[in-house]
Structures are given as structure tokens and as C-alpha cells.
Amino acid sequence: MAKLFRAAIMGPPGSGKGTISKRIAQSFGLQYLSSGHFLRDGIAAKTEAGLLVKSYVEKGMLVPDHVMTRLMLPKLEQLSSHSWLLDGFPRTLGQAQALNSLYQLDLVISLNIPYETLRERLSDRWIHPPSGRVYNMSFNPPRVQGKDDVTEEPLIQHDDDKPEALMARLRHYKDVAKPVIDLYKSQGILHSFSGTETDKIWPYINSLLSTKMHIQPSHNRQTQTP
């Protein structure tokens, strides 16, 4: 039986984490675990952790560590026989330490994208809140302006994607992520990638994972994105 492989991806809002995560999942057969999906599923299913999450989300507050770990760790325990890639968890040192007590990660990818690039991407970003589908007016626009492709429900632009809020979000991300990045650096599993285009960063990530997992990627379907 092949050795199980556990990885996480970190990066600020607009860094292309979702796009890269999907490519990794497709190319290397890792299960893609997005904390955003788990949050939405928990809220929709009205689980105890989901209702706790909802109470914070509705107030526009960050979900605290003890609630996030209560939501995520049972899901990860159910996937003990799978290889996976985590996106959006762990966000904080507390979450990273809780995860560490359950699993030792093999690899953590950190994306370093310049502020100007993030600002351009996020100012073009529109979201369908119920599903979490994200559109970008420059490279992934909806078929009908302002409408979700699947449900035709209206798209919204997050207030915190607007330039004045973005600086504060990025500052917060850096403050919170730094101890997590330092932890994984000290464990020797952190790999950082810098650039302004996802398609130019991807070959390096692809090569790293091929080496780490000792396999040739099964297929390299790529969609062009900046």
C-alpha cells in the first residue's frame, strides 16, 4: 500500500490557493479539503459545531480556534486512510498545534504574492455565497454578468475584497500566519513560492510534489489563469 501523504497550503486572500489546490488534487490524487466547504456544510447540516460557526459568521467575527478544531479534526479523523491537501486550516498556531497532535504533515506550501497582484485579483472577484463559487471578471467571468452559472442567483462582492479593507486583511493574515509558517519551517516541511502568475508558479509546485511523492503526476490538466 502506498504511503499516505498529508499536505497543507497557505496564502493570503487572492493568492490562487484554490486554483493550485484543485490542480494538486487532480494531478496527484490528493483529496482536497477546504475549510470553507466544511464551514458551509456544517452550517447547512446544523451540526453542533456548525451552529457555533454560524453564530460567529453572522456577527462577522473570525471563528475561534476551539470551534474550528472541533469542526475540522473529526472530519480529518474520518479520513485517516486517505492522502489529502488542506486549504484554510490550520490558519493559526493554536490550530496547527491541534492538528499536530493528530497528524504529522509531510509538506506545507506557502504562497507569497505581491500586494499589487492581490489587489488587482480581488477587485475583480465576485462570489456566490451559498456555494462558495468564485468568479473573476478578468479570467473566469460568469456566463451572465452578475449571475451564478449554476443557479443564476446574484453574485456579490465582499466588502473585505475592496481595496480599503484589503490592506487590513493582509496585515492580519501576515500576523496570524507568521507563527504557523515558523512552526512548519522549524519542522523542515515548509516550501515557499513567490510570483504574480499561478501558471508560472505551478510547474515548481508540480515538480516538488512529484519528487516528494516519488510519483509521476497522473495527468496535468491545466486551465489558463493568471
Task: Tell me if 15 is assigned to a ligand binding site.
Answer: yes
Task: Tell me if 21 is assigned to a ligand binding site.
Answer: no
**Residue 215 belongs to a domain:** yes
Task: Tell me if 188 is assigned to a ligand binding site.
Answer: no
Task: Tell me if 93 is assigned to a ligand binding site.
Answer: no
β 107-112/190-194 pair status: parallel
Task: Tell me if 95 is assigned to a ligand binding site.
Answer: yes
Task: Tell me if 18 is assigned to a ligand binding site.
Answer: yes
Task: Tell me if 61 is assigned to a ligand binding site.
Answer: yes
Task: Tell me if 35 is assigned to a ligand binding site.
Answer: yes
CATH code of the domain in which 168 resides: 3.40.50.300
3 state SS for 79-120:
CCCCCEEEECCCCCHHHHHHHHCCCCCCEEEEEECCHHHHHH
β 125-128/190-194 pair status: unpaired
Task: Tell me if 11 is assigned to a ligand binding site.
Answer: no
Residue 12 in 3-state DSSP? coil
pLDDT at 226 over 70: no
Q: What is the pTM of this model?
A: 0.80
β 31-34/84-87 pair status: parallel
Q: What is the residue range of 29's domain?
A: 6-220
Task: Tell me if 132 is assigned to a ligand binding site.
Answer: no
State residue 223's pLDDT score. Answer: 38
Task: Tell me if 196 is assigned to a ligand binding site.
Answer: no
**Residue 225 belongs to a domain:** no
**Residue 22 belongs to a domain:** yes
State residue 154's pLDDT score. Answer: 94
Task: Tell me if 40 is assigned to a ligand binding site.
Answer: yes
The residue-averaged pLDDT of 172-188 equals 94
State residue 118's pLDDT score. Answer: 86
Task: Tell me if 17 is assigned to a ligand binding site.
Answer: yes
Long-range contacts for 179-182 (Cβ within 8 Å, ≥24 apart)?
Answer: 179/92, 179/93, 180/10, 180/90, 180/91, 180/92, 180/93, 180/95, 180/96, 181/10, 181/108, 181/110
The residue-averaged pLDDT of 55-61 equals 81
Task: Tell me if 68 is assigned to a ligand binding site.
Answer: no
C-alpha R_g of the chain: 17
Cβ atoms of residues 226 and 197 within 8 Å: yes
**Average predicted confidence (pLDDT) for the chain:** 87
Task: Tell me if 151 is assigned to a ligand binding site.
Answer: no
State residue 215's pLDDT score. Answer: 62
Task: Tell me if 135 is assigned to a ligand binding site.
Answer: yes
Task: Tell me if 185 is assigned to a ligand binding site.
Answer: no
Q: Based on the structure, what is the number of domains in the chain?
A: 1
Q: Cell match 492538528: residue?
A: 99
The strand ranges marked E within the chain are: 6-10, 31-34, 84-87, 107-112, 125-128, 133-136, 190-194
pLDDT at 71 over 50: yes
**Residue 226 belongs to a domain:** no
State residue 224's pLDDT score. Answer: 38
Cβ atoms of residues 50 and 71 within 8 Å: yes
The residue-averaged pLDDT of 158-184 equals 85
Q: How many CB atoms lie within 10 A of CB 193?
A: 20
Cβ atoms of residues 9 and 87 within 8 Å: yes
Task: Tell me if 216 is assigned to a ligand binding site.
Answer: no
Task: Tell me if 108 is assigned to a ligand binding site.
Answer: no
- The CA-based dihedral angle spanning residues 181, 40, 120, 205, taken in that order and rounded to the nearest 10 degrees: 50
Task: Tell me if 133 is assigned to a ligand binding site.
Answer: no
pLDDT at 155 over 60: yes
